[in-house]
Amino acid sequence: MNNCIERKLNIKFTVHHLEKILRRFNINNETVIQLNGFENFVFLFKKYNKEFILRITHSSHRNEEYIWGEINWIDDLASRKIAVAQPVSLNGKKLVEVFKFENGDYFCVIFEKASGREVTIEDWKHELFYIWGKVAGKMHRITKSYSNEINFLHRPKWHEEKYLNPNKYLPPSQNKIIKRYHNLIEEIKNFPLDEKSYGLIHADLHTSNFFLNKKNITVFDFDDSIYSWYIHDIAIILFSALQKNQEFYNRKELPELFWRNFWHGYSSENHLDLYWLKRLPYFYKLREMQIYVNLHRSFDVEKLNSWESDFIKFTKNISSQGNETYYNIEKEYLLLNHQN
């Protein structure tokens, strides 16, 4: 392995750190493979002839309470027949092991490797979209009974996330965008809260965070889970779908193909009032702005790939103009499908 394992947020995590963690869990270093991780260090390893995932989180990203809140929710979902990659205890260790190093605390959790396989372009059709919607709807429906006062202490609320501070990551020259982002946040804060529409959401349920397992999906990576409106979760999913495989669909075909089947699956498990569907554009725009801020926070914007660069240009142009069209599919189509 490299002498220094790089992280987007400039936390120096060295081989020395990793080796100490591996010794604690009695993991053979020769079985360890580093995986892509944006805000955590993530590794695949083998033990007992099985594959597991080791996730290492720095205290600058999450505190221990938030991680326990994530684990509690995953366990609850699993107990109610949602296929998830569950946390496991190895060698009698706690589900959350804390390591104190010179540059802060590191919280380590071991997960089962999710069952199933990665989504491919061949899967990108109506069957996948239906299952995707069905699982999202079921998660929202069963989580309604999980949303209680105690659990609110264990995961952040949507407005507490660091990407909602554009002043910290965007230059003063983008003042129009910063102001627009703040105005959007304030509008959303005024939306009503109730147990039918607001609770814990995954907040990152795109195709890189679940595996296909026959006619079901196995969900993992709950690191971004937050308390927010269920329509927020749907907007994030929709945003990821519209950015995926656009070379195979034009801008009109993909929204219709995705939404018709996703909403059919979702509606079979959970009811969402038309009031909330009408507010989907606000959360779609919120996701767009989150990605925009994250790119400025975690990357050199002068050295982005083609998709990232095009996204920056598009979002900057639209947002600086104050265009109130928050998303690029017809609102009437979404409402028509809801009524049908």
Q: How many whole angstroms separate alpha carbon 312 and alpha carbon 296? A: 9
**Residue bearing the bigger pLDDT, 157 or 10:** 157
Alpha-carbon distance of 272 to 292, in angstroms, equals 28
Amino acid at 162: K
Those residues with Cβ within 8 angstroms of residue 178's Cβ, 6 or more apart along the chain or in another chain: 166, 167, 170
Over residues 117-139, mean pLDDT: 95
In angstroms, the CA 188 to CA 326 distance is 13
Quickly list H helices, 120-243.
Answer: 126-143, 166-169, 175-189, 230-243
**CA-to-CA distance for 289 and 253, rounded, in angstroms?**
24
Task: Give CA–CA dist 28/45, Å, rounded.
Answer: 8
| Closest C-alpha to 60, from 107, 16, 20, 94 | 107
More confident residue, 319 or 64: 64
Has residue 326 got a pLDDT over 50?
no
pLDDT-based confidence at 322, cuts 50/70/90? low
Q: For 26-70, write each residue's pLDDT tens digit.
A: 999 999 999 988 789 999 999 999 999 999 999 989 999 999 999
Q: Residue 296: is its pLDDT beyond 80?
A: yes
Going by DSSP bridges, is the β-strand pair 104-112/97-101 parallel, antiparallel, or unpaired? antiparallel
DSSP class of residue 171 equals -
Nearest Cα residue to 263 out of 229, 288, 234, 230: 234
Strand ranges (DSSP E) for 248-295?
none
- pLDDT-based confidence at residue 157 (cuts at 50, 70, 90): very high
Is the pLDDT confidence value at 327 over 50? no
Q: What is the mean pLDDT of residues 222-241?
A: 95
Please name the residue that has the structure tokens 């099985």: 50
Cα of 334 vs its chain's centroid, Å? 23
Percent of the chain with pLDDT over 90: 56
Q: Would the pLDDT of 335 be above 70?
A: no
Arithmetic mean of pLDDT, 96-117? 94
pLDDT at 149: 52
Residue 23 has pLDDT above 50, yes or no: yes
What domains are defined for the chain? 4-112 (3.30.200.20), 121-339 (3.90.1200.10)
3-state secondary structure of 32: coil
* pTM of the complete model: 0.90
